[in-house]
């Protein structure tokens, strides 16, 4: 079995290098999408690693915008046309780190072929705070004077928006591990439904629900597992999850998850060193 990892990153190239060392295993491959706004030259040293490739069709990514979806889909398209035959696609950020060895993760995925490990909730019933992402117009993906005034006016005078094609919206987390068949279906559905593409461009943070929604409204619903295998701490109530430090070591280990985010090498590399030591004890 082979896994294709996709790292979406915009900074911390030194952290990304440490993540690569964790992920590389057997014939797996790592594909890196560097935000088009970032300096690609700061990542050039990573090309020396075996089976590490850079996505060519880069996108300038903005938090909460449609272009995050675009960057992910562009990357998946390139990855499918790469030479390797991969059974799983694993989407991580440049601020992630593994909590289990690559061998342990491989054994798990081999024992569960063809699945889609994604976190999701029914937006209209279980995640109501996400409803305005869909029912209202959002211009965060565009740059023009007065866009927020226009957005406010449109949301006041126009009818509420609904998902095209009668799709039931589900979602939660952007990060997931899904089979190649699931990736292929997402790309095919996306290409065949321009109305969904147009709709998504005017939503907020569609990366957190569009992939789950496409699979949930298909025969692939039966292979979806409501667990994205990640430990992410939102307890601080901020727009971004907690950045872990050494104080969080016990809960990270106790989570039994495969990956966690977020980490900041520059401000607290000690937690990464601790996790490396724990994983080294497992493999020795």
Strand 3-9 and strand 88-93: the pairing is parallel
Task: Give the mean model confidence (pLDDT) for residues 51-70.
Answer: 96
Give the angle subtended at the CA of 6 by the CAs of 3 and 9, to the nearest 5°.
155
Q: What percent of the chain has pLDDT over 90?
A: 91
**Which residue in this structure is represented by tokens 């509420």?**
160
Task: Give the mean model confidence (pLDDT) for residues 20-43.
Answer: 96
Q: What is the model's pLDDT at position 281?
A: 67
Task: Give the mean model confidence (pLDDT) for residues 122-132.
Answer: 97
CATH code of the region 3-113+229-283: 3.90.550
Burial class (CB in 10 A: 0-12, 13-18, 19+), 112: middle
Whether the ω angle into residue 262 lies within 30 degrees of 0, i.e. cis, is: yes
Q: What percent of the chain has pLDDT over 70?
A: 99
Q: What is the model's pLDDT at position 139?
A: 94
Rg (CA), the chain: 19
What's the mean per-residue pLDDT of the chain? 95
pTM, two decimal places: 0.96
Question: What one-character-per-residue DSSP string does the chain give?
Answer: --EEEEEEESS-HHHHHHHHHHH--TT-EEEEEE-TTS-GGGGGGGGGSTTEEE-SS-----TTSHHHHHHHHHHHHHHHTSSS--SEEEEEETTEEESS-HHHHHHHHHHSTT-EE--EEETTTT-GGGHHHHHS---TT---TTHHHHHHHHHHHSPPP--GGGPPPEEE-S--EEEHHHHHHHHHHHHH-HHHHHHHTTSSSGGGTHHHHHHHTSGGGGGEES--SEEE--TT-SSSPPPP-GGGHHHHHHT--SEEE---TTT-THHHHHHHHHHHHHH-
pLDDT in tens, 72-90: 999 999 999 987 799 999 9
Neighbours of 13 (CB within 10 A): 20
| The token pair that represents 60 in the structure block | 């300038």
Phi, psi of 263 (to 5 degrees): -130, 155
Residue-wise burial string across 132-162, b where 16 or more C-beta atoms lie within 10 A, e elsewhere? ebbbbbbbbbeeeeeeeeebeeeeeeeeebe
pLDDT band at 179 (very low <50, low <70, confident <90, very high): very high
pLDDT band at 117 (very low <50, low <70, confident <90, very high): very high
Q: What is the model's pLDDT at position 267?
A: 84
pLDDT band at 14 (very low <50, low <70, confident <90, very high): very high
Treating both helix axes as pointing N-terminal to C-terminal, what angle do 13-23 and 270-283 enclose, rounded to 10 degrees? Answer: 10
Inform me whether the pLDDT recorded for 284 exceeds 60.
no
Closest residue by Cα to residue 252 from 232, 237, 269, 266? 232
């Amino acid at each position: 079995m082979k896994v294709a990892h996709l790292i979406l990153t915009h900074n911390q190239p030194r952290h990304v290098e440490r993540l690569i060392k964790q992920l590389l295993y057997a014939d797996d491959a790592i594909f890196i999408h560097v935000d088009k706004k970032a300096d690609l030259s700061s990542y050039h040293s990573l090309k020396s690693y075996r089976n590490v490739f850079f996505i060519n069709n880069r996108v300038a990514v903005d938090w909460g915008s449609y272009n995050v979806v675009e960057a992910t889909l562009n990357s998946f398209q390139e990855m499918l046309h790469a030479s390797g035959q991969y059974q799983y696609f694993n989407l991580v950020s440049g601020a992630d780190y593994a909590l289990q060895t690559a061998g342990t993760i491989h054994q798990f995925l081999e024992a569960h072929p063809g699945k889609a490990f994604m976190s999701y909730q029914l937006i209209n019933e279980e995640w109501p705070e996400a409803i305005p992402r869909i029912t209202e117009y959002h211009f965060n993906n565009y740059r023009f004077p007065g866009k927020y005034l226009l957005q406010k006016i449109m949301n006041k005078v126009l009818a509420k928006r609904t998902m095209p094609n009668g799709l039931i919206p589900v979602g939660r987390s952007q990060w997931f591990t899904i089979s190649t068949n699931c990736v292929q279906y997402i790309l095919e559905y996306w290409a065949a439904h321009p109305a969904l593409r147009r709709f998504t461009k005017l939503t907020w943070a569609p990366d957190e629900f569009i992939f789950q929604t496409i699979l949930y409204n298909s025969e692939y619903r039966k292979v979806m597992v409501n667990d994205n295998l990640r430990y992410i701490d939102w307890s601080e109530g901020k727009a971004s999850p907690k950045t872990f430090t050494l104080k969080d070591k016990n809960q990270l280990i106790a989570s039994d998850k495969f990956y966690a985010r977020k980490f900041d090498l520059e401000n607290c590399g000690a937690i990464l060193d601790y996790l490396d030591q724990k994983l080294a004890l497992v493999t020795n």
